[in-house]
Amino acid sequence: SQKIEQNSEALNIQEGKTATLTCNYTNYSPAYLQWYRQDPGRGPVFLLLIRENEKEKRKERLKVTFDTTLKQSLFHITASQPADSATYLCALEAGGYQKVTFGTGTKLQVIP
Amino acid sequence: SQTIHQWPATLVQPVGSPLSLECTVEGTSNPNLYWYRQAAGRGLQLLFYSVGIGQISSEVPQNLSASRPQDRQFILSSKKLLLSDSGFYLCAWSAQGVGPQHFGDGTRLSIL
């Protein structure tokens, strides 16, 4: 069956360090993958999109990698700040009309 | 710029009562529209999506229904709510083609 796995345990990291979040998937062949940020009680906010033929994408302090052989995406936040504390969701293209399937997310806590 | 409005923010309903949640998008035309539900500690579950007026695709069989009476209006309904319908309901839109989904702030629905 299709599965998207994100570390369900919270990730605690010291301010200034690089946070790395993992998204693994099975039985998908996504044309693209997205990362979103979700704050408590709010809707997710889009961060980055990476296509299957792209290895890496950057936006300011954010970097996403996409390895279709390993079926894995890594999401990095460099020089992390307490304001980066949130839940981060990966989402895989799931066929037509921009349908995506979301992982359950990883909660990141940046400690001052 | 594009905006998405979703209301109400919170709703408490008795079991067996009807439901109507509304979502409207401004600043864009012919968007794809989506309804998701997020249970506590769970990922986003796609309930319905729509690629045009009157066109609704259901992803999960349940006692919910969706309608799109206008290009930028998406309504989630139920004739009789169940306890299991409790959750955080999110509306989202995306433009045609590969790209992000943009979410509203959600409705927290509690069934008593």
- Residue in B32, B105, B108 nearest the CB of A98: B32
Q: Which residue of A has its CA nearest to B94?
A: A98
End-to-end CA distance of chain A: 41
Question: What is the chain A residue with the closest CA to B93?
Answer: A98
Say whether pLDDT at B102 is over 80.
yes
CB A23, CB A90: distance < 8 Å: yes
**Predicted pLDDT of residue A96:** 65
pLDDT tens column, B26-63: 999 999 999 999 987 778 999 999 999 989 998 886 78
∠ CA A57-A80-B45, rounded to 5°: 65
Q: What are phi and psi of A39, to 5 degrees?
A: -95, 155
| Higher pLDDT, residue A55 or A110 | A110
B12 burial level (CB within 10 Å; 0-12, 13-18, 19+) = exposed
Instruction: Tell the residue number behind the tokens 């796609």, with chain if given.
Output: B46
